[in-house]
Structure 1
């Protein structure tokens, strides 16, 4: 079987959709080496080069041009005699030729409809049109969670029988116990405190970092934050200054994947009070890292966190504060949650995700 992918995010996104794209192709190529996997894009980058070096993964370059992704990628896949074209980030090409090819699209979330205040009017209209058209065009739609599946049915009016849920995984490094030497080296490099809680993700309103900062006021708990800054960061700075938390809150930049996994393992608690997620990869990164998790009781987060995470109302600072203090002061409870969660999170391993993906592809043949 030959499977072609829209590889824009694979090559050009450092996190989020990029990680999803790279993990998906890697998992398939390693677990099902008998197939061919073709990455279609106008230009490649250094990202994912180790995956591109696999013997069954190749790059097909489409000539640069306006709307090449929409007008040329599909026909390029057909000219390569691909059996399946998989749009990895909510889009499919508009133009195709007469050659037979099956079409799959992955929908990650419909946050632009759930939280329209975070998007411009123009972006909401474009996203809606592209996602709905892709779902209508596709022979099958992959939703990355049951929450996203419900949203596709409710908000895009796509029939349930056309949608299959395939969860996401995470990078292999989070599943590997780091050596004490590497942990110590990472701790020294970033001047990390002896104990801290961790938050990972873009610093934007939906991720709700402000409520974590508010929750550690009048405590001695240290918070480490790793994520791209947006305008919302100014609100965080004001809250830190107002409450004299400068020595308790630390923002890290230029963290490699290996270092990130080490920081997860060094943290006492991972705190993720997001208002809404299509899935929530940082939660399973933390669980694989054997770090206790506090996250929101909304959207898909209970799917990712399972029965052995603690859940809070993300808009209730007192609820969040109480849960943080409870775990911070209770090492035995942290250990209990971690041990049980590590068993439960195995449903997101590469082999299970790869098997489910291949079942989807074979079903279409």
Structure 2
């Protein structure tokens, strides 16, 4: 057997859960004659994907306790088979596992996270990495960061990129004066500087911010909303609702301070919307010349780049065209093929 840690089925879907779900949907029923089995806490039974993945509920605990006690206890009774860990810390002391790591923001910027989250991750992630058979990351940037930060051998790490889901497509919808931002309400997503920059603009556009606050992150101090009639916090939206907004928006902004990959701009590109993203961490690797770039630490640069794109039809058309080309380079089918090959190479 090959087991999947499906605790992610108990969590709200953000970028890391989406990665896990999309790859898992494309996994075969078995690899090299070994059946793939999904293991999850009982709470996951409320998620329709629990049944779709033919998951098994094991143990009685939840959250980290389930992952550190119930899950490894079950695996050891089964002879310590290979485990695939898509999200979070994983069972720290369990060694026969492939571990997915999306970024090391908790290490480099602990101030962005709740105290309990950053302390837990900084204590246990290094140990779990050391005890992993193999590691997968979502960009070359994260791979190099792992090598530099934790002195992990390069050959122990593979890169498997994320991709936009197939639901994100261009529709025959007229553009509206909307600047769109989609992310969890996480300090590193840089929403505060976007709002400050937008407050200084004299344009007819609305700023719509989509996303929910996560328990892992530190509190955000929202600045004075001078244009509050033009700023809308839409909360958490379904993919169907997101597709409509992506298609309506004249500009998508993603001036993140730290990303391991960054899926939302790909979704916007698939919907024919030009993107403004930050020029740091993994984003130049993923988006190359298909987006406009800004300095995420500068309110004035974010503001000026928003105006530059909105006021230049030729530049917007160029970014839309380049965006389609870029987004089409990333597919979940290709990523799943790469992921399956890594599993095959790590089966004892």
Measured on the aligned residues, the alpha-carbon RMSD in Å equals 2.7
| 1:322 and 2:304 are equivalent in the alignment | yes
Give the structure 2 partner of residue 71 of structure 1: 69
**2:329 match: secondary structure:** helix
Partner of 2:119: 125
**2:103 aligns to what?**
109
Please say if residues 68 and 91 of structure 2, whose CA atoms lie closer than 8 Å, have aligned partners that are also in contact.
Answer: yes
Q: Distance in 2 between matches of 1:94 and 1:301?
A: 30
The TM-score, its normalising length taken from structure 1, stands at 0.84
Partner of 1:42: 41
Structure 1 residues 2-151: aligned runs within 5 Å: 2-29=1-28, 36-43=35-42, 44-47=44-47, 49-50=48-49, 52-53=51-52, 57-65=53-61, 67-77=65-75, 84-94=82-92, 102-119=96-113, 122-151=116-145
Task: Give the TM-score normalised by structure 2.
Answer: 0.87
In the alignment, structure 1 residue 266 sits paired with structure 2 residue 248 = yes
Query: How far 1:30 moved relative to its partner?
Result: 9.3
Is 1:41–1:69's contact at 8 Å kept on the other side of the alignment?
no
Counterpart contact for 1:313–1:319, Cα < 8 Å: yes
Structure 2: tracts of 5 or more residues without a match: none
What are the within-5 Å matches in structure 2 for residues 232-243 of structure 1?
A: 232=219, 234-236=221-223, 238=224, 240=225, 243=226
Residue matched to 1:282: 264
Cα distance change, pair 76–347 in 1 and its aligned pair in 2 (3 A)? farther
When residues 164 and 309 of structure 1 are mapped into structure 2, their CA distance, relative to the original with a 3 A threshold, is: same
| Higher normalized helix content (fraction of residues) | 1
1:187 aligns with: none
Greater RCO, 1 or 2 (C-alpha within 8 Å, sep 6+):
2
Q: Indicate which of 208, 212, 217 corresponds to 1:228.
A: 212
Moved more, 72-81 or 332-341: 72-81
SS at match of 1:38: strand
Closer/same/farther in 2, CA of residues 320 and 254 from structure 1, 3 Å limit: closer
Name the counterpart of 1:188: none
Aligned to 1:246: 228
**1:157 partnered with 2:151:** yes
Q: Do 1:306 and 1:341's aligned partners in 2 also have CA atoms closer than 8 Å?
A: no
Contact 1:3 1:38 in 2 (8 A): yes
Q: Residue 5 of structure 1: CA displacement?
A: 1.3
How many residue pairs were aligned? Answer: 339
Cα distance in 1 for residues equivalent to 2:90 and 2:273: 38
The residue matched to 1:251 in structure 2 has which SS? Answer: strand
Aligned partner of 1:218 among 201, 205, 219: 201
Ranges in structure 1 where 5+ consecutive residues have no aligned partner: 185-192
CA contact (8 A) 2:201 2:303 kept: no
- Separation in structure 2 between the aligned mates of residue 121 and residue 157 of structure 1, nearest angstrom: 25
* 2:266 maps to 1:299: no
What SS does the aligned partner of 2:327 have?
helix
Moved more, 70-79 or 325-334: 70-79
Contact 2:182 2:210 in 1 (8 A): yes
